[in-house]
Structure 1
Amino acid sequence: MSDPAYSQLLDTNQELRSELQDEIFANKSNEKKVRSLVKELEQCYRTISLQDNTIIVHEKEIEKLKSDISDLRKQLRILQQDKKFKDEAGFVQDGRIIELENKRAGTPMQNPANVIDGIRGSLNTIRVTLQNITAERDQYQNLLNETNERERVLIQQLRDMRNENLRSQRLLDESRAQTDRTARERDNAQGERDLAMLAYNNERQESRRWMFSYRDKNRRVQGLLREKFAKQLLYQRDTNRLQQNI
């Protein structure tokens, strides 16, 4: 018949083996999580680095656009001043025409057809010049509007990228926190595994001690039984001799 204490010890060892296997499986699972989180962290680092470079490029483009806008505004002011000068020249020319009209009654005009043609030519020249200035001004104004629109779009893109960068930074912080938690869980699991291994080894040593003790006791019991049996034989022999002598 087996010893109940020894059987219980074997059951305890089996339970410890099962718990140890569970801890080993959990530890491997945590290590996989850590590797996955490390990959996510590396991807976040690459994304943030790429976005930082893109932001720098956009900031340089915005600075260039601001410089272009400043130059366009200067040119526009120059054109507006030119237009004002042409308007004043036209006013002087109109005054000259009126003056010629006033003098026409008192002073005979020489070759009036040529004078009129000259006045018309001057007016046409002024008119064409004003049209060119207006067209050029409109062209610069359109270019200025396009540049302003492009600057607005780039600023919005830059703002969106900064928001995305902040979101990536938050994800990175969360990933770091998750990595730290997983690492702590892994360390705790490793500690529990070490404790389970220590308990298992202790139980194993205790089991071996019990087994050796059981074998030793069994040998002693068997020896005592043999000794008892021998004494019984001697006692039976002596009893038989006494009965024969009576």
Structure 2
Amino acid sequence: MAFQRPRPPNRTTHRSATDKELELEQINQILRDELSTEISHNKANEKWISRLERDLINCEKEISRKDIALVASNEEIKELQTEISSLKKDLYQTRKEIRDNNNYTADIENKLQECYEIISSLKQRIKVISSRGNSPVRNNSPDIYSPPEDPDMANLDLFIQIERGLNRIKNHIQGGGTPLNNPINIIEGIRGSLNTVRHNYQSVYQDIDGVIAQ
């Protein structure tokens, strides 16, 4: 029987297998990194939701104060309550989407940014309404014609918020900028801001008319 030399290992096959293992390891590492990034984004977004929910709770507390009830109309209070309730539902649904889908999407951050802007507008409206109680007329100040709170200045931020809201609605309709997830919230915010401005001027004129009538 003829002696046969053992064949050397196929280096090409060995190298090919090693390359595939390295490639699989790289793919796994990429997937692990993406998963870790998604988890970090989701945690950050849940924290953002919690902060926005706390802001809404504070807004609810503000509009339930007795001094707010004295200077705000029933219409304004109802509008604020409705907007707060709608935003709470939106935040609840967004948190549910994060937990159910368990993956990161830019759409979530767009929704939260939208809620943040609407809540900022709400807080400004509540601040303006609350400032009516600082009117020198209401505080029996003798200098009623030099009020520390100029209604035009008090309404300035509201006009800015209204303009921003209108621009966002315009861009949404024209397909420019970031699409709005819930344009109704923006529209209701604009309506509420306009009503607050109207009540601000009515309040000032009623106070002055009341003092003149005395």
- By percentage of residues, which structure has more helix? 1
- Higher-Rg structure is 1
> Is TM-score (shorter-chain normalized) higher than 0.5?
no
Structure with larger RCO (C-alpha < 8 A, sep 6+) = 1
Under a length normalisation based on structure 1, what TM-score does the superposition of the two structures give? 0.36
TM-score under structure 2 normalisation?
0.40
